[in-house]
Amino acid sequence: MEQMFTADTAAAIARARQHSVGDLLHRTARRVPGKTAVVAGDLRVTYAEFDTAVNRAANALAARGLGKGDRLALLSHNCWQYAVLAYATARLGVVLVPVNFMLTAQEVGYILEHSGASGVVAEDALVPTARDALGDRDVAVRAAIPLGGATPEGWENVDDWWRTGPATEPGVPVADDDPLRLMYTSGTESRPKGVMLSSRSLISQYVSCVIDGEMSGDDVEVHALPMYHCAQLDCFFSVDVYLGATSVILPGPDPATLLATIEREKATKLFCPPTVWISLLRHPAFDTTDLSSLRKGYYGASPMPVEVLKELRERLPDVRLWNFYGQTEMAPLATILRPHEQLSRAGSAGRASVNVETMLVDDAGEPVPPGEVGEIVHRSPHAALGYYNDEEKTAAAFLGGWFHSGDLGVMTEDGYLSVVDRKKDMIKTGGENVASREVEEAIYELDGVAEVAVFGISHPHWIEAVAAVVVPKPGAALTGDDVRAHTRDRLAGYKQPKYVVIAEALPKNPSGKILKRELRSAHADLASPAE
């Protein structure tokens, strides 16, 4: 039914109905103004103070020429200022570009160039990287977050933005599908892709997290994984802001600091990838720290080894666990395995969350029956708007009206998904497909194994061969022969690792994902041409 209104009336209706990411904090501040919103080091701020800081920072950005649709790059470890800028940009309709702080200046430079960033904010220690990345680029904003040193010459102090200045709301109209985030994927390609997310993508995803993840305004959550990654920023921190929960921000997932913080703040909720949960279990302070407040635990980024899952259930019996599976392009949640399913469906990624439809397709885009391997695809308002300035990759990713994840999976009759592998991580040895995860699960059953990564390496006869890098638990004396003997009784011959390397640690990114690309490169010569 078509309605005819004047432009002024239509604009007034749109503003009254606006529900953007930038509105969420303000509404929470109206509901619970005096509640503690953020704890970061010695700083403790209420929701009213958080809201005021965001308005001031937004007005400061506007005064420096940034407006709706402009891009602001943010290069920093987790901190209070990160939280302020995430909402200040959203309130202005400025697109936030979170940048991985582990990248080189050249890699950061590519993101700045590709995104067309109008400004850069970097923590003081990373200003040299940001300066090199900028080169002679002319940008409206160069600002530093003072986390440990003096403000570098030629850069503004971000703290001046949120501490002083006008605290009035900017009043910028932001529509549901105006881009607010440009998240660059790590991916396997030579250049990362810029994933565009809108309020519709993000808030739909928040709702799925709240309902299926049983999140609450009573939560006290520790945020230790990088906020440049949408798992920590949007599955957890932004949901806490939406609900009015208390967020404790740590610069990184140091296990000793994490354990002490849970005890001190009486945290009820924690998200970690499996690698970080493992680091907590192995830390000598684990059994002497009071973790009795903890009630909800979440994992993602990679599957939880079944043996580690059992150990978590035994050593943290009061903590209910959820597995969140997804990808950046889904903002990022797609499927959830709930607490009562952790053991009965161990290893599964669960079922589609409340706002998601998931199925498996073959290379022709046709559905595959239960029990067969196919590519995981989704339909959901969580889905990204596409890849920035990349029509070709966007068209391929959304072929047939589904988002194609690039992950391979198997689904049961009742809709439970098991992620077999990334397409790139499926090992094809001697014409047979080997899922690296299946081999990893078998190796985890060996006493003394702390962590393992399985991957394929080039082989003159088998084309690809199965290789494993194993990290022993402290005090365990494991050998490659031990690992091979263990898998001999559990796996078909072609699935058994032909090469086993014992190592002190596995390379990981700040999100806790194991960097198999680095392992493939480091161990590319394990198979000699003479074999």
CA distance 101 to 91: 24
Kind plus residue range of the DSSP H or E element containing 282: helix 274-282
- The yes/no answer on whether domain 19-201 falls in CATH 3.20.20.140 is no
Q: What angle do CA 234, 271, 276 make, to 5 degrees?
A: 125
Report which DSSP code applies to 168: S
pLDDT, residue 423, reads 64
Beta-carbon contacts of residue 388 (< 8 Å; ≥ 6 apart) = 114, 115, 182, 193, 194, 195, 196
- Among candidate residues 172, 220, 171, 167, the one with its CA nearest the CA of residue 49: 167
- Paired residues of 456 in beta bridges: 466
Report helix, strand or coil for 268: coil
What local confidence, expressed as pLDDT, does residue 424 receive? Answer: 63
Report how far residue 426's alpha carbon sits from residue 359's, in angstroms, rounded to the nearest whole number. 19
Give the Cα separation of 49 and 35 in Å (integer): 10
| pLDDT at residue 431 in the model | 59
Question: For residues 346 and 444, is the Cβ–Cβ distance under 8 A?
Answer: no
Chunked into runs of 10 residues, the chain (531 residues) has average pLDDT values of 87 95 98 98 98 98 98 98 98 97 88 97 96 95 93 95 97 97 70 93 98 98 95 97 98 97 98 90 97 97 82 96 95 97 91 98 94 96 97 96 94 93 71 77 93 89 87 94 91 88 90 84 80 43
Is there a contact between 496 and 488 (Cβ–Cβ < 8 Å)?
A: yes
* CA angle centred on 438, ends 213 and 431, rounded to 5°: 135
Give the contacts of 254 (CB within 8 A, at least 6 positions apart). 224
pLDDT of residue 214: 98
Q: Do the beta carbons of residue 507 and residue 515 sit within 8 Å?
A: yes
pLDDT of residue 187: 46
How many CB atoms lie under 10 A from the CB of residue 505? 9
Helix and strand tally (H, E) in the chain? Answer: 17, 26
Q: Which DSSP letter does residue 244 get? A: T
Cis bond before residue 128 (omega within 30° of 0): no
CB-facing half-sphere around the CA of 129: CA atoms within 13 A = 23
Q: Are strands 320-326 and 269-271 parallel, antiparallel or unpaired?
A: unpaired
Give the domain ranges of the chain.
19-201, 430-522
Determine if residue 350 is left, alpha or beta; phi over 0 gives left, psi from -120 to 50 gives alpha, anything else beta: left
State the pLDDT at residue 106. 85
Residue 189, pLDDT score: 41
What gap in Å lies between CA 242 and CA 393, rounded to an integer? Answer: 32
| Residues with Cβ within 8 Å of residue 88, at least 6 apart in sequence | 54, 55, 57, 58, 60, 61, 94, 161, 162
Inter-residue contact 145 to 158 (CB < 8 Å): yes
* pTM, to two decimals: 0.84
Which CATH homologous superfamily contains domain 430-522?
Answer: ANL, C-terminal domain (3.30.300.30)
Dihedral, 95, 101, 107, 113 alpha carbons, nearest 10 = 20
